[in-house]
Amino acid sequence: MLRVAIIGAGPAGLMAAEQLVPVDGVDVDIFDAMPSVGRKFLMAGKGGMNITHSEPLPAFVARYGSRSPQIASLLDAFGPQALREWIAGLGIATFVGTSGRVFPTEMKAAPLLRAWLHRLRGAGVHFHVRHRWLGWQADGSLRFAAPQGEVWVQADAIILALGGGSWARLGSDGAWVPLLVERGVPVVLLRPANCGFDVAWSAYFRERFAGQPIKPVIASVGQKSQQGEFNITENGVEGGLIYALSAPLRDAIERDGQATLTLDLAPGRSLERLISDLSKPQGRDSLSNHLRRRVGIDGVKAASLGTKANR
């Protein structure tokens, strides 16, 4: 019997186990540092549990930016529709929301995770929680800090499903990076992605509009544009549209020290129509009422026209 050790019990580790359990002669053990598995997965469920997107596959692949050529073949083998069918096999129904995003019908992660773990345990997968990986022994065995002290585990194969460094409280702390570097494994430095950004708002704008959504808009960074919505926060911007553009925003900040997010506040109106509408007599209307009546720009959208912030 070959023993495979999977380090990390998030979706990547669980899916690796899913692929291994049908193979004869393979015994699968999953190790995780946290007291329970899939903690960040469960946290994602608190926001509605967006599983995938229903958009055409070429557009979906393009979301992976510079990694698109490598990801394309993987999505050909197991794409968004295949994922929905796999989830249906766990007894979880899904639906397509108005934004094109796909969600479980119950909008929760817990039922999906429970069904998945039940199936994996039934297939013979062994789970070891509170086992923090510490690297390797000289003989190649794996070292873990466990409740009973340090334990060593021999495995014929190791799968690392360690996540990033995005949420230490839920297990994604990036502590594995120095372990691999010490082993001589090339590691690309962790970089922020799918994140919000700081903006140097004025005190008035922050106090008046923090927490409000800007929608619908078309946001652009360089050559990449997308329609959607995002939220103003006390210290910047966050939300689905910002996350979708986080990679080019991050790259611009790393390159130039700042990034410029360009917003089309009146999507669906051509520039010519916008000029025509705004050129109509203002009469006794204030500028804010003129913008609201003529092109539907008001509230936080109107306030953002007079806000300069590019950090």
pLDDT in tens, 7-63: 999 999 999 999 999 999 999 999 999 999 999 999 988 878 999 999 999 999 988
Domain ranges in the chain are: 1-49+107-190, 50-105, 197-305
Bridge pairing between strands 213-221 and 149-153: unpaired
CA 18 and chain centroid, separation:
22
Q: Which CATH class is domain 1-49+107-190?
A: alpha beta
Q: Which two tokens stand for residue 129?
A: 């929680």
Distances (CA, A) of 10 to 1, 214, 241, 245: 25, 33, 25, 25
Q: What pLDDT band is residue 291 in, cutting at 50, 70 and 90?
A: confident
- Which of 306 and 296 is assigned the larger pLDDT? 296
% of residues, the chain, pLDDT over 70: 98
Q: State how far the Cα of 35 lies from the Cα of 279, in Å rounded to an integer.
A: 63
Question: Which of 92-96, 118-122, 234-238, 296-300 is predicted with the least confidence, judged by mean pLDDT?
Answer: 296-300
Q: What pLDDT band is residue 308 in, cutting at 50, 70 and 90?
A: very low
The listed range with the strongest mean pLDDT (132-146, 186-200, 218-232) is 132-146
- Domain 197-305 matching CATH 2.40.30: the answer reads yes
Please name every residue paired with 101 in a beta bridge, in sequence order, or none if there are none.
53
Length of the chain counted residue by residue: 311
Instruction: Encode pLDDT of 157-205 as tens digits.
Output: 999 999 999 889 999 999 999 999 999 999 998 998 889 999 999 999 9
Q: What pLDDT band is residue 307 in, cutting at 50, 70 and 90?
A: low
Q: State how far the Cα of 299 lies from the Cα of 288, in Å rounded to an integer.
A: 9
pLDDT at 311: 39
pLDDT at 248: 92
Q: State how far the Cα of 142 lies from the Cα of 136, in Å rounded to an integer.
A: 5
CB burial class (10 A; 0-12, 13-18, 19+) of residue 211? Answer: exposed
Average pLDDT of the segment spanning 92-106: 93
Q: State how far the Cα of 132 lies from the Cα of 65, in Å rounded to an integer.
A: 33
Average pLDDT of the segment spanning 133-158: 97
Instruction: Encode pLDDT of 247-260 as tens digits.
Output: 999 999 999 999 99
pLDDT at 233: 96
Q: State how far the Cα of 227 lies from the Cα of 251, in Å rounded to an integer.
A: 20
CB 238 within 8 A of CB 246: no
Instruction: Encode pLDDT of 267-281 as tens digits.
Output: 988 889 888 888 888
Closest CA to 60 of 79, 77, 33, 45: 79
